[in-house]
């Protein structure tokens, strides 16, 4: 959906609670969520996250995708649920952020 500059990933977070992400997720993390609205893009930008993965086939509106492109935030949509996505990332060596 959106491209991002190349960066190392520090960790992974699964949360649909935006305040948790704001309070606890470190920069360069991947955020897994089913929330697909503009506030997710704003938080990902503010927290300097590497990417956002939307679960269960969720896709943000085009205006949110446009904002992510401008802010260089990578967005991905996956038909899998959060548990399965996290499991696959875990097998790649990534771990939770908090």
Domain extents for the chain? 11-91
Which residue is associated with the tokens 């802010």? 71
DSSP state of 47: T
Average pLDDT, the chain: 91
* Statement: residue 4 has pLDDT above 70: no
> What whole-number distance in Å separates Cα of residue 17 and Cα of residue 38?
14
Give residue 5's pLDDT band: very low, low, confident or very high (50, 70, 90). low
Q: Give the pLDDT band (50/70/90) at residue 62.
A: very high
Measure the CA–CA gap between 70 and 13, rounded to whole angstroms.
23
CATH node for 11-91: 3.40.1390.20
Cα 77 to the chain's mean position, in Å? 10
Residue 69, number of CB atoms within 10 A of its CB = 16
- The predicted structure's pLDDT at residue 2: 45
User: What pLDDT is recorded for position 6?
Assistant: 65
CB 80 within 8 A of CB 57: no
């Amino acid at each position: 959906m959106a491209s991002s500059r190349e960066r190392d990933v520090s960790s992974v977070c699964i949360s649909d609670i935006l305040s948790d992400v704001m309070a606890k997720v470190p920069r360069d993390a991947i955020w897994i969520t089913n929330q697909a609205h503009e506030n997710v893009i704003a938080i990902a930008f503010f927290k300097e996250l590497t990417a956002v993965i939307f679960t269960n086939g969720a896709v943000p509106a085009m205006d949110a995708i446009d904002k992510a492109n401008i802010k260089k935030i990578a967005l991905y949509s996956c038909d899998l649920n959060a548990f399965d996505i996290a499991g696959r990332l875990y097998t790649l060596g990534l771990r939770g952020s908090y």
